[in-house]
Amino acid sequence: MPIDPNTGERLRDEAGNVVLYEGETPEQAEAEAAAMGQPVMDEEAALEELLAQIPMAGEEPPAEEAGEELPEESPIVMPEAGTMAELFEVIFGDSFDAEDPNDAERMTQVEALLSADPVLAEAVAAGEISLTEVALQFYRALNAGTTSEEVL
């Protein structure tokens, strides 16, 4: 039976024509749709309705109806500076020197890894994951063949 289970209305094809029952004529289908309170549409009317929904060049698309508000993203919980220094040492084998430009760049990569994965960053901050595991994830990301800017 060509009735939409969500709306209870007769189904329509892409052109807006009522889908026919077996052995039903288009006139009978349109008459039944009209009896159900559905608007009768021919191909031209259906096309005009679709075109009216498409924004013209330079127009803003219509705003979505305000339904449920999307929850604001909570800020990423980053580990403390001491934990970050320990993580740096586990990953790179050296103590972090803020004055060294190379160390600063490598620390930026570590921070980018954590920023890209808030769950991981929170787990590190809470001590729920070992720093060695984070180092493994860091090296897996680097070995995946992507640049640090793409992954991190």
**Within 13 Å and on the Cβ side, how many CA atoms surround 46?**
12
User: Most confidently modeled of 5-14, 73-82, 117-126?
Assistant: 117-126
| pTM confidence score | 0.48
Percent of the chain as helix, strand, coil, to the nearest 5: 50, 5, 50
List the domain boundaries for the chain. 1-55, 81-151
pLDDT at 130: 92
Which pLDDT tens digit goes with each residue over 85-103? 999 999 999 999 989 999 9
